[in-house]
Chain A
Amino acid sequence: MCVKMYEIVKAEKLTPDVTRLEIAAPKIARKAKAGQFIMLTVDEHGERIPLTMADFSAEKGTITIAALEIGKTTRQLGTLKAGDSLFSLVGPLGLSTHLEEFGTVVCVGGGIGLALMYPVVRALKEAGNRIVSIIGAKNKDLLMYEDEITAVSDEMFVCTDDGSKGHHGFVSDALQKLIDEKRKIDLVYAVGPIIMMKVIANLTRPYNIHTVVSLNPIMVDGTGMCGSCRVIIDGETKFGCVDGPEFDGHKVDFENLTARNKRYLAEEETSLRIFQGAK
């Protein structure tokens, strides 16, 4: 096998369960746009998994990903150090975030979604929008990208489920409050766990606030060939990899997405058990 050079230039833990990797990929870094993702394979026996880019820099020639360590592949990513390299890295894939001057955009992110949200917030800000960010996590130790997102936001709300920082409650509470205050909201952008995106979409629907969500279906090739990532949008089948990953949140069939993402739970547990046993 030929040697691949997708070298990790920086590896760090953002929280005990989230690893951030900065990877040398000059070509991808030059072409990447906010909202796009990459597919990576850790080693020759590895699975191809999609990860939305948390950052990219044409100057440095690197892209950054953040992975929540829940399965074998993401835990393996957590063991990588600077100097290690990936077996395969493909990108940038998917459509980028639609950017224009909407007016006021409320960006809502939760958990690992915060890492993915950062380049989108930055791009929306650069496009001339007023940004209100609402970020949330279970507790203050699991909050990520707070400083980065603050730097590109005009207004910032922090929520924690346990009240250890900011508002005690969910990001949806904070959004509801803004709506109740009759704030002018031209667009809501939400990225995080499926349940969070579903709650946000349901919340904005009666107010007719256009809401964009970034979906995370299971993918295999990530280039439109297999349809593993198909999602139902307004009753129609779309491919998450080439038609997405961002869709109109009011049109997404979240129940179907939730069910489809459980397809390989048993196998995922087997892989993880063997991996942890070996460690």
Chain B
Amino acid sequence: MAEEKKKSRIVPKKYPMPEQDPKERVRNFNEVPIGQDKETAILEAKRCLQCKPGPNREICKDGCPVEIDIPAFIKELQEGNLEGAMSIIREKQNLPAVCGRVCPYENQCEGLCIVGKKNEPVGIGRLERFLADWERNEQMHGKIETPPSTGKKVAVVGGGPAGLTVAGDLARLGHKVTVFEALQYSGGVLVYGIPEFRLPKEIVRAEVDFIKKTGVEIKNDFVVGKLDTVDDLLEEYDAVFVGTGAGLPNWTNLEGENLNGILSANEFLTRVNLMKAFRFPDYDTPIRVGKTVVTLGGGNVAMDCARTALRLGAGESIILYRRSDAELPARREEVNHAREEGVKFEMLAAPLKYIGDDCGNVKQIEAIRMKLGEPDDSGRRRPIRIEGSNFIVDCQTVLVAIGQSPNPLVPMTTPDLKTTKWGTIAVDAKGRTSKKGVFAGGDISTGAATVILAMGDGKRAAKAMHSYLMDDPSWPAPEAFEKGAC
């Protein structure tokens, strides 16, 4: 009865998140959601029922890869205690303003929200975002306590979501952490991959600065494997974490792929995001998009490419995807945003070859219609060619966004680090690799996934590293890694 009563009081929908108008935003790189005010955030928090987990019942926090105590922070927010709410998030979360923007909440915390069973779930993602933004804008970071030093030194290879999580967690436990980052800015995919309009780079910089304040040192422009190798690092550090990500672009390997105007998603996004080509010529790195831009792929990266192309002035931005709408691996929110902005979806179609003009520029894609067959290993229905259904798409730019592979540099330069047939570093459940003292996590061990999964991986590895450094230096035999990733 009591529960019935409560339900009847539930506001059925999330309080709206104000957003830039689609017509307006396709002409700028400013963030699409504008953010909620304090009053709205508290109202949203009050939609939460404060469920307790039961033996057969999963609640929001069971879906959080970094284990934030979600009901606890929402409770503080319900009572208007912003500082208290934020300190609960900070206990587990190194990148709250990032995760409050790019997490696939609908599959995680919000997917388990009890309110969401009959209504819209509590907007947990936007609450995290609100609190993180409040903390940053109001400079409410509070005093950062430095724990007593353990005397242990840890090297983190790669300053992306996994590496920064490991660094933040271990620094908080009193270890001396140094991050080695290849690029001039830290954040990995957060700075080179995810566009400004989804994740402003100023926010990433602020999050990285916060991690630095906890005592983490970051060495930029440092390519491990080219300068020091992992073996060199092991001479100076007690443990090494490898979080070098999946930075290697996959190609279609179709005829004509090296024509001018065909770019990997990584090149396109790196030029625009890391190098700020969208502000050319104020910034020196150029980017060019044609009247029609075709993006191959259906994931978040593909959505980012197609939406970025519109903002760079493309007249038409088309996503060519070989399955149907239901199989799009991108977050629904990204797909919706792309549609609102005018991205066209050419579903159930796959490229066959690229056709160039006399100067070596791409001018067309020859594609073929597909239909869906039986489910494949991934559980998604396998696309099958409809013979004879070939068609031509005129375009001047093609963005290849069909996935990324693990970065091979560290495995290549660390002979006794075992890898799987997918090129990922083989790890056990604790993130331990075949080499004593070396841990790995994020896309380099899981294959291309999401920011939050890399962070969850980093969190697990950080726990295991702490235990390895402080109590139990035992290590599995290298043979344990023969069969590939666990």
Contacts and interface: CB of A to CB of B under 8 A. Distances in A.
A118 to B, nearest CB: 22
Contacts, number: 108
Contacts of A93: 223, 226
Given A28-B227, A259-B359, A267-B288, A223 B260 contact: no
Contacts of B271: 220
Nearest to B265: A226
A274 B221 contact: no
Contacts of A255: 360
A225 B260 contact: no
Contact of A73 (B192, B284, B288): B284
Interface string A78-95: 000000000111111100
B182 interface: yes
The interface centre, meaning the residue of A226, A228, A256, A260 with most chain B CB atoms within 10 A of its CB, is: A226
B284 A46 contact: yes
A227 interface: yes
Interface residues of B, number: 40
Interface residues of A, number: 43
Contact of B280 (A90, A92, A227, A267): A267
Contact of B264 (A45, A72, A227): A227
A93 B288 CA distance: 27
Given A226-B270, A227-B266, A256 B221 contact: no
A268 B280 CA distance: 11
A226 B360 contact: no
A207 interface: no
Query: Interface majority SS on A: helix, strand, loop or mixed?
Result: mixed
B182 A90 contact: yes
A48 interface: yes
A259 B257 CA distance: 13
A279 to B, nearest CB: 15
A197 to B, nearest CB: 18
Contact of A88 (B184, B257, B270, B282): B184
8 contacts: A2-B220, A93-B223, A221-B192, A225-B266, A226-B249, A227-B263, A227-B264, A263-B288
Interface of B: 182-184, 192, 220-223, 226-227, 247-249, 251, 253, 257-258, 260, 263-264, 266-267, 270-271, 274-276, 280-286, 288, 359-360, 407-409
Ordered nearest first, which 6 A-B pairs have the shortest CB separation?
A267-B286, A259-B360, A226-B267, A47-B284, A88-B184, A225-B247
